[in-house]
Structure 1
Amino acid sequence: MEPIDPVYGTTTLLLIAAGAVALLLVLIIGVKLHAFISLVLVSLVTAIVVGFDLAEIPDVLLFGFADTIGSVALLVAFGVMLGRLLEVTGGAQVLADTLIGRFGEKRAPFALGVAALIFGFPIFFDAGLVVFLPIILTVARRFGGSLLYYALPAAGAFAAMHAIVPPHPGPVAAAQQIGADIGLTLLVGLPIAVLAWYVGVYLVSRFLGARIYVPVADVVFGQAEDGQGADDSLGQGPPPFGVVLMLLLIPLVLISFDTVLDTLVATGTLEEAGWIDFLGLLGQTPVALLITVLVAIFVLGRPNASMARITTILDHALGPICAIILITGAGGMFGGVLELSGIGAALSSSLSDLGMSLILQAFVIATLLRVAQGSATVALTTTGGLIAAPAAAADLGQVQLTLLVVAIAAGATVLSHVNDSGFWLVSRFFQMDEKTTLKTWTVMETTLGVSAFAIAAVLWMLL
């Protein structure tokens, strides 16, 4: 669907969006109404208030919901299946023990973050998070303390790579719009992303973890089967480290087929061909995770367990994630309503000439679009389109164009809140209520984005 022509001016639309967010927070935090019901209700009310034709409102609501749930449901389902198999066979414990043995107990959160930075290079944020979830929870259970110590470094690493570094689609699209070289964007964006992660995520997670206690819950993957421990629930010992690593590398390699090949085709390095389409199909996140789950069933489960037993374990893993999928989809619904309301177009027209330096303008526009409608991808692509003309007129060098891409990505990262489906994914995966998620995840996303922008701005001034 296309955004409607705004019925109201930019200021009124922004007030409506702010009022909708405030109402949602009151319903969830104050009234304690279920988040799924609250999100659907506020989405409906917002769609009416902004002036959608009443007959079109069901389609408007389904626009964001179907788009979000269509991708999230499959990857979350396959991800928790893989996670449960790793958990009940002791595979997650093996990987956690290996990481801790290499980095040491005190550096376990840092080790999780570094591993997530590596795996996050080709893997999207949500896919990486769901695959890493059993490892995060296993390490957190072993050492205790607030889950934030272990969850935020890993989740923030996936967020940093997804937002800033090609071949992820957001920075690739922004680079193409403003004429930045994608290869140089990768070379410049990668060290900025890593440094921003260390300052804005890892150090911040230590600060937040010391002040906010989030207990470790195992509800995502279900309870231990028949009261048995993870190692013997399938009647076998834990798998070797090499097997566990192979299972994690399968989606990494397959998904990289899609993201890397798409980038090479977009830059003209490769031409469209049948084998590229086939590898791209294998690299689609749901297909890659399906293949990984099938391999895990036969490598981890089948040697000593019947298919009926494995099916029971997978069934128990799927049950608890229904709420996660529905709430995340409803968060996408709310963001979709705001996107189609025309608030992006209204903001774009009013922010096209802010009278400030180009790199600051890029950051501010992306930030306001991100806060207003929730989608980081929309904020990235819209801002890229707005900045393209003044960037061309300024006759910037390639490094400066790359720094503009980083600034746009930084603005599209900050202030993840209730109109962002990723906010709800993190909230439900880590069993945090909305208030706690705002005080932790939202703060961390903001410090990550601000850190990335600060680095880019300093380099901009030095050139």
Structure 2
Amino acid sequence: MEAIAPAYGAATLMIIAALAVALLLVLIMKVKLHAFVALVLVSVVTAVAAGIPVGDVPDALIYGFADTIGSVALLVGFGVMIGRLLEVTGGAQVLADTLINRFGEKRAPLALGVAALLFGFPIFFDAGLMVFLPIILTVARRFGGSLLLYGLPAAGAFAAMHALVPPHPGPVAAAEALDADIGLTLLVGVPVAVLAWYVGVVLVARVLGKRIHVDIPEALFGEINDGRDDVAPGSGAGGTTTTQKAPAFTTVLGLLLLPLVLISFNTVLATLVTAGTIEEGATWSESLMLLGDTTVALLVTTLAAIFVLGRGQRSMADVSTILDKALGPICSIILITGAGGMFGGVLELSGIGEALSTSLSDLGISLILQAFLISTLLRVAQGSATVALTTASGLLAPAAAAASLGDLQLVLLVMAIAAGATVLSHVNDSGFWLVSRFFGMDEKTTLKTWTVMETTLGVSVFVISAAVWAVV
């Protein structure tokens, strides 16, 4: 669905957006209305108030909902299946024990984050978080304390890589729009992402984890496994539970590396096709890219996990029961995440973000600060980091071309746009709801933790980019 011409000026649209967010928070936090119902209700009210024609309101609602849930539902579904099999077979415990033995208790959160940085190179934020979640929870249960100490470094690592580093779609699209070199964007993006992650995520997570206690969820994918199977192998409904030998560390690592390798086919080959290195439409590359599609890669990994972990001492009926139990608890999470995408979609179609960013571009401020502020406004207005990246880079492309910037300056402009697209994750961002629900946090706590951490991450990226900009 195409964006609708704004019915009001930028100031009026901004007021409508602010009132919509305020109404949503009141309904959820004060009235205690269920988040899914509140998001849909406020989306309808906002669409009408923003001047979207009444006949187009249903399509506007479905636009954001379908786009979000179409990808999130599949990724979350396969992710929790893999996670539950890792949990009930002891695979997550094996990996957690190995990390702890190698890095020690005090450095366990840092180890989780470093592992997430490596896995986050080709894997999207939501898919990476789903696969890593049982490992995060296992380590957190082992040592206790606030879940934030263990969850934020890993989640923040996936967020940093997703926003800053090619071949993720946001930075690639921004680099293309600004005519920046993708290879140089990768070379600059990695160290900027790592440094900003450490300053804006790891250090901040330590402070937040000490000040705010978040209980470790006890029934995320089902009941906690204590070394016993959910369903006894071959026992049937009334059988007794037996203990299964935990898988080897190499087996668990191989399963985690499988989606990493498969998704790399898609992301790396897509980048090479875009750069003209590989001919577009080649059968061999298209086939590998299909295997590397995030959904297909997680499907393949789920099948591998069923065969490697589930079939050893279980019947297929028992494995299916385990997977079925894993899917039940996530229905609410998927619907709420989709409704968050609906709200963001309504704000996007109303033209709020574009009206604000167009107004800002005429203020005559420095180009790199302009890039950060425009991207921030787009992020706040419609929620999606990728949309903010692509839209802001398109708006800034003429100015960047007119300024005759060097290669490094163009890349720094991409970094500044990515920084703005990262900050202030809130209720119109599907990632906000994923973190909120899977970390077992209410909306107020999520705003005080996840939103703060995303903001410190984005600000850290901008400060680094602006500092380099000032000396080149």
Give the TM interval when normalised to the shorter protein.
over 0.9
Q: Distance in 1 between matches of 2:253 and 2:372?
A: 38
Counterparts in 2 of 1:18 and 1:210: CA distance versus 1, 3 Å: same
Structure 1 residue 100 displacement after superposition: 0.8
Does the 8 Å contact 1:222/1:316 carry over to 2?
Answer: yes
Partner Cα separation in structure 1 for residue 218 and residue 120 of structure 2: 24
CA RMSD of aligned residues (A): 1.4
Runs of 4+ in 1 over 3 A off after TM superposition: 224-235
Are 2:48 and 2:54, in contact at CA under 8 Å, matched by a contact in 1?
yes
Tell whether 2:262 aligns with 1:254: yes
Paired residue for 2:371?
A: 362
Aligned residue in 1 for 2:403: 394
d(CA) in 2 for partners of 1:91 and 1:226?
12
Q: Which of 439, 448, 452 is matched with 2:448 structurally?
A: 439
Aligned AA (1:214): V
1:387-426 matched pairs, under 5 angstroms: 387-426=396-435
Which residue of 290, 298, 312 maps to 2:307? 298
Q: Is the 8 A contact 2:87 2:225 kept in 1?
A: no
> In the alignment, what sits opposite 1:134?
134
Whichever residue aligns with residue 311 of structure 2, its letter is R
CA deviations on 1:7-30 (whole Å, 9 max, x unpaired) are 110000010000000000000001
Q: 1:224 to 1:454 in 2, by over 3 A?
A: closer
Q: Give the superposition deviation at 1:241.
A: 0.2
1:282-313: per-residue Cα shift (whole Å, max 9, x none)?
11111111100111111111111111111111
Query: Contact 2:353–2:377 at 8 Å: present in 1 too?
Result: no
Q: State the Cα deviation string for residues 103-136 of structure 1 (Å, max 9, x = none).
A: 1111000000000000000000000000000000
Distance, in Å, in 2 between the alignment partners of 1:222 and 1:187 is 41
- Distance in 1, matches of 2:358 and 2:225, equals 57
Partner of 2:238: none
> Which whole-Å CA distance do the structure 2 matches of 1:152 and 1:348 have between them?
30
Task: Indicate the SS of the match to 2:451.
Answer: helix
2:283 corresponds to 1:270: no
Corresponding residue to 1:456 among 450, 455, 465 = 465
Distance 1:179 1:75 in 2: 32
- The TM-score, its normalising length taken from structure 2, stands at 0.96
CA contact (8 A) 2:389 2:417 kept: yes
Q: Which amino acid aligns with 1:31?
A: V
1:102: which partner in 2?
102
Checking the alignment, whether the CA contact within 8 Å between 2:229 and 2:243 is kept in structure 1 is no
Q: Tell whether the 8 Å contact from 2:229 to 2:244 is kept in structure 1 after alignment.
A: no
> Partner residue of 1:236?
244
Out of 215-224 and 58-67, give the one that drifted further. 215-224
1:23 correspondence with 2:17: no
Distance change in 2, residues 1:226/1:264 (3 Å): closer
Counterpart position of 1:310: 319
Judge conservation of contact 2:175–2:181 (CA < 8 Å) in 1: yes
Structure 1 equivalent of residue 235 of structure 2? none
Deviation at 1:353, TM superposition (A): 2.1
Aligned residues: 463
CA distance in 2, matches of 1:174, 1:379: 10
Residues 81 and 327 in structure 2, CA contact (< 8 A), matched pair in contact too: yes
Asked if the contact 1:331–1:424 (Cα under 8 Å) also holds between the matched residues in 2, the reply is yes
Amino acid at match of 1:220: L
Give per-residue Cα distances to partners, 1:371-396, cap 9 Å, x unaligned: 11111111111110111111111111
Contact 1:235–1:305 (8 Å) recurs in 2: no
Letter in 1 for 2:348: E
Query: What's the counterpart of residue 179 of structure 2?
Result: 179
Retained in 2: the 8 A contact 1:3–1:340? yes
Name the amino acid aligned to 2:285. I
- The two structures have a TM-score, normalised by structure 1, of 0.98
SS of 2:219's equivalent?
A: coil
Structure 1 position 175, deviation (Å): 0.5
CA distances 1:318-342 after superposition (whole Å, capped 9, x unpaired) = 0000001000000000000000001
2:253 — aligned with what?
A: 245
Q: 2 CA distance for matches of 1:61 and 1:293? A: 32
Report deviation, 1:224: 4.2
Instruction: Provide the secondary structure at the position in 2 that maps to 1:106.
Output: coil
Query: d(CA) in 2 for partners of 1:142 and 1:231?
Result: 24
The residue that corresponds to 1:143 in the other structure is 143
Q: 2:332 matched to which residue of 1?
A: 323
Query: 1: distance between equivalents of 2:286 and 2:97?
Result: 39
**Alpha-carbon distance between aligned partners in 1 of 2:383 and 2:160, rounded to the nearest angstrom:** 17
Matching residue's letter, 1:163: A
CA distance, structure 1, for counterparts of residue 325 and residue 285 of structure 2: 37
Return the alpha-carbon distance in structure 2 between the equivalents of residues 310 and 81 of structure 1. Answer: 10
Answer with 240-249 or 342-351: which moved more: 342-351
